[in-house]
Amino acid sequence: MSDPAVVADGLTKRYDEELAVSGLSLTIPSGDVYGFLGPNGAGKTTTMRMLTGLTRPTDGTATIAGASTDDRPTLTERIGYLPADPPVFDELTGREHLRYVARLHELPSDEAGERIDDMLARFDLAGDADRRIGTYSTGMQKKVGAIAALLGDPEVVFLDEPTSGLDPRAARTMRDTVAAVADREVTVFLSSHVLSVVDELADTVGVIDDGELVAEGPTEELKRRARDDGEADLETAFLDITEDEDVPDERAEA
Amino acid sequence: MSRTSEPKPEPTATVDRTASQSRRGRFPSPSVSATIARVELRRMFRRIRAQDVWLALVVLGSLAVLAVLPIAFDAASAWGSAFASGDAAPASTVGLLVASGWVFVLAMGVVAGVGSYGEIDEPAGLLTVRPPKDVAGGLLLMNAVGYVPYVLVPFGVGFAGLAAGAGTPLVLVGGAAATAALLASAMAIGYPAGLALKGAVHRSKWLSRLKPVIGAVVAVAYFWVMFAGHLPALIDALSPVLRGPPLSWLGDLALVATPGAGASTVAAAAALGLSLAVVPVGVLATVAAAEFAWFADEQRDTGDEAEPGEEPTAGSSTRLTGSTRLGDAFGLVCRRQGTAGVAATTLVRAYRAPLQLLFAAVPLLFALPMVEGVLATGTVPSYAPWFAMLYGAWAAGVAAPLNLLGNQGATLPGLLTSLASGREVVHGHVLAVVAPVAPIAAVLSGAAARASGRSTAEAVGFGALALVVVGGGAVVAAAIGSRFPRFDGIDVTADRTATPPSKAAFALYSVLATLGVSAAGVLTDELYRVVIHSLLAPRLPFGLTLSVAGLERVALGVAVVLAAAVPAAYVLAVRRVSDYRIE
| Sequence ranges of the domains in chain B | 25-294, 359-579
Asked if residue B404 lies in contact with residue B426, where contact means CB atoms within 8 angstroms, the answer is yes
Closest chain A C-alpha to B25 CA, distance in angstroms: 9
How far is Cα B457 from Cα B516, in angstroms, rounded to an integer? 22
A133 touches chain B (CB under 8 A): no
The kind and range of the H/E element at A6 are: strand A6-15
How far is Cα B555 from Cα B253, in angstroms, rounded to an integer? 62
List, in order, residues 6 or more apart from B437 with CB less than 8 Å away: B392, B395, B396, B399, B470
From the list B512, B483, B470, the residue with the least C-alpha distance to B574 is B483
Chain centroid to Cα B331, Å, comes to: 35
Give the per-residue pLDDT at B494. 57
Cross-chain residue pair B122–A30, CB shorter than 8 Å: no
The 3-state DSSP class for residue B295 equals coil
Q: Is the dihedral of CA A33, A39, A44, A45 positive or negative?
A: positive
Residue A233 pLDDT exceeds 70: yes
| pLDDT tens, residue by residue, B266-281 | 999 999 999 999 999 9
Per-domain residue ranges for chain A?
A: 6-86+154-241
Asked if residue A9 lies in contact with residue A170, where contact means CB atoms within 8 angstroms, the answer is no
From the list A202, A156, A192, the residue with the least C-alpha distance to A52 is A156
Cross-chain residue pair A3–B14, CB shorter than 8 Å: yes
List, in order, residues 6 or more apart from A212 with CB less than 8 Å away: A21, A22, A23, A24
Asked if residue A75 lies in contact with residue A64, where contact means CB atoms within 8 angstroms, the answer is yes
Nearest-Cα residue of chain B relative to residue A5: B14
Closest chain B C-alpha to A248 CA, distance in angstroms: 23
- pLDDT band of B518, cuts 50, 70, 90: confident
Give the mean model confidence (pLDDT) for residues A233-238: 82
From the list A147, A170, A130, the residue with the least C-alpha distance to A88 is A147
B8, B10, B14, best to mutate vs chain A, most A CBs in 10 Å: B14
* CB nearest to A106's CB, from B9, B22, B122: B22
A1 touches chain B (CB under 8 A): no
Residue B313 pLDDT exceeds 50: no
Give the per-residue pLDDT at B414. 85
How far is Cα A84 from Cα A159, in angstroms, rounded to an integer? 8
List, in order, residues 6 or more apart from A52 with CB less than 8 Å away: A64, A69, A75, A79, A81, A158, B124, B128
How far is Cα B559 from Cα A223, in angstroms, rounded to an integer? 77
Cross-chain residue pair B46–A203, CB shorter than 8 Å: no
A34, A70, A89, best to mutate vs chain B, most B CBs in 10 Å: A89
How far is Cα A230 from Cα A238, in angstroms, rounded to an integer? 15
List, in order, residues 6 or more apart from B82 with CB less than 8 Å away: B88, B89, B90, B165, B260
Residue A59 pLDDT exceeds 60: yes
Cross-chain residue pair B131–A103, CB shorter than 8 Å: no
List, in order, residues 6 or more apart from B407 with CB less than 8 Å away: B346, B349, B356, B400, B499
The string of DSSP codes covering B125-147 is HHTTTS-HHHHHHHHHHHHHHHT
Give the per-residue pLDDT at B300. 56
Nearest-Cα residue of chain B relative to residue A49: B124
Asked if residue A45 lies in contact with residue A211, where contact means CB atoms within 8 angstroms, the answer is no
ipTM for this model: 0.89
The 3-state DSSP class for residue B23 equals helix
List, in order, residues 6 or more apart from B496 with CB less than 8 Å away: B116, B355
- Measured CA angle at B77 (ends B75, B79), to 5 deg: 75
A253 touches chain B (CB under 8 A): no
| pLDDT tens, residue by residue, B394-404 | 899 998 899 99
Give the mean model confidence (pLDDT) for residues B252-268: 91
Nearest-Cα residue of chain A relative to residue B30: A104
Q: Which residues of B touch A145 (CB under 8 A)?
A: 125
* CB nearest to A77's CB, from B13, B19, B307: B19
Asked if residue B274 lies in contact with residue B246, where contact means CB atoms within 8 angstroms, the answer is yes
The kind and range of the H/E element at B344 are: helix B337-352
Asked if residue A151 lies in contact with residue A101, where contact means CB atoms within 8 angstroms, the answer is yes
Respond yes or no on whether the N-terminal peptide bond of residue B369 is cis (omega within 30° of 0). no
- Global pTM reads 0.77
From the list A216, A238, A212, the residue with the least C-alpha distance to A227 is A238
From the list A133, A137, A64, A52, the residue with the least C-alpha distance to A100 is A133
The kind and range of the H/E element at A118 are: helix A109-122
A60 touches chain B (CB under 8 A): no
* CB nearest to B305's CB, from A46, A152, A219: A46
How far is Cα A179 from Cα B413, in angstroms, rounded to an integer? 39
Chain centroid to Cα B269, Å, comes to: 39
A45 touches chain B (CB under 8 A): yes
How far is Cα B378 from Cα B312, in angstroms, rounded to an integer? 51
Nearest-Cα residue of chain B relative to residue A178: B3
Give the per-residue pLDDT at B13. 42
Percent of chain B with pLDDT over 90: 44
How far is Cα B441 from Cα B18, in angstroms, rounded to an integer? 66
β pairing state of A156-160 and A79-82: parallel
How far are the Cα atoms of B23, B286, B343, B424 from residue B131, in angstroms, in the given order? 7, 13, 47, 53
Span of A246-250, B44-48, B167-171, B498-502 with lowest mean pLDDT = A246-250
From the list B97, B104, B87, B131, the residue with the least C-alpha distance to B189 is B104
How far is Cα B124 from Cα A161, in angstroms, rounded to an integer? 14
Percent of chain A with pLDDT over 70: 93
How far is Cα B360 from Cα B393, in angstroms, rounded to an integer? 10
How far is Cα A238 from Cα A233, in angstroms, rounded to an integer? 9
User: What is the interface size between A and B, counted as CB pairs within 8 Å?
Assistant: 157
- pLDDT band of B17, cuts 50, 70, 90: low
Asked if residue B146 lies in contact with residue B42, where contact means CB atoms within 8 angstroms, the answer is no
Span of A166-180, B269-283, B515-529 with lowest mean pLDDT = B515-529
Closest chain A C-alpha to B14 CA, distance in angstroms: 5
| pLDDT tens, residue by residue, B466-496 | 999 999 999 999 999 999 998 887 776 656 6
A21 touches chain B (CB under 8 A): no
Chain centroid to Cα B223, Å, comes to: 10
A245 touches chain B (CB under 8 A): no
| pLDDT tens, residue by residue, B216-246 | 788 778 777 776 677 788 888 888 888 888 9
From the list B36, B56, B1, B35, the residue with the least C-alpha distance to B503 is B56
Q: Which residues of A touch B123 (CB under 8 A)?
A: 54, 87
| pLDDT tens, residue by residue, A120-159 | 998 889 999 999 999 999 889 999 999 999 999 999 999 9
Give the mean model confidence (pLDDT) for residues B60-78: 89
How far is Cα B521 from Cα B530, in angstroms, rounded to an integer? 10
Give the per-residue pLDDT at B260. 86
From the list B201, B272, B258, the residue with the least C-alpha distance to B76 is B258
Give the mean model confidence (pLDDT) for residues B448-453: 89
How far is Cα B227 from Cα B541, in angstroms, rounded to an integer? 33
Is the domain spanning A6-86+154-241 CATH 3.30.70.260? The answer is no
- pLDDT band of A251, cuts 50, 70, 90: very low
Give the per-residue pLDDT at B133. 96
From the list B430, B407, B429, the residue with the least C-alpha distance to B486 is B407
DSSP-derived letter for residue B13 is: P
Residue B51 pLDDT exceeds 90: no
Give the per-residue pLDDT at B6. 43
The string of DSSP codes covering A132-190 is BGGGS-HHHHHHHHHHHHHHT--SEEEEESTTTT--HHHHHHHHHHHHHHHHTT-EEEE
Nearest-Cα residue of chain B relative to residue A198: B1
Please tell me which residue, B328 or B188, carries the higher pLDDT value.
B188
Residue B578 pLDDT exceeds 50: yes
Give the per-residue pLDDT at B228. 67
Cross-chain residue pair A183–B8, CB shorter than 8 Å: yes
Q: Which residues of A touch B15 (CB under 8 A)?
A: 3, 66
Percent of chain B with pLDDT over 70: 91
How far is Cα B287 from Cα B25, in angstroms, rounded to an integer? 11
Give the mean model confidence (pLDDT) for residues B339-346: 88
Q: Which residues of B touch A152 (CB under 8 A)?
A: 129
> Which burial class, exposed, middle or buried, applies to B581 when counting CB atoms under 10 A from its CB (0-12, 13-18, 19+)?
exposed
Give the per-residue pLDDT at B444. 93
Nearest-Cα residue of chain B relative to residue A51: B128
- pLDDT band of A96, cuts 50, 70, 90: very high
Radius of gyration of chain A from its Cα atoms, rounded to whole angstroms: 18
Give the mean model confidence (pLDDT) for residues B120-126: 92
Mean pLDDT of chain B: 85
Cross-chain residue pair B19–A76, CB shorter than 8 Å: yes
Neighbours of A239 (CB within 10 A): 15
* CB nearest to B132's CB, from A72, A89, A91: A72
- pLDDT band of B515, cuts 50, 70, 90: confident
Q: Which residues of B touch A88 (CB under 8 A)?
A: 122, 125
- Measured CA angle at A237 (ends A231, A241), to 5 deg: 155
Asked if residue B383 lies in contact with residue B531, where contact means CB atoms within 8 angstroms, the answer is yes
How far are the Cα atoms of B140, B195, B291, B495 from residue B116, in angstroms, in the given order? 13, 10, 16, 6
Cross-chain residue pair A89–B18, CB shorter than 8 Å: no
How far is Cα A162 from Cα A144, in angstroms, rounded to an integer? 11
How far is Cα B336 from Cα B314, in angstroms, rounded to an integer? 22
The 3-state DSSP class for residue A126 equals helix
| β-pair partners for A158 | A81, A189
How far are the Cα atoms of A80, A88, A225, B150 from residue A13, in angstroms, in the given order? 22, 27, 29, 44
A177 touches chain B (CB under 8 A): no
| β-pair partners for B58 | none
Asked if residue A188 lies in contact with residue A182, where contact means CB atoms within 8 angstroms, the answer is yes
List, in order, residues 6 or more apart from B151 with CB less than 8 Å away: B101, B105, B179, B182, B183
Give the per-residue pLDDT at B100. 92
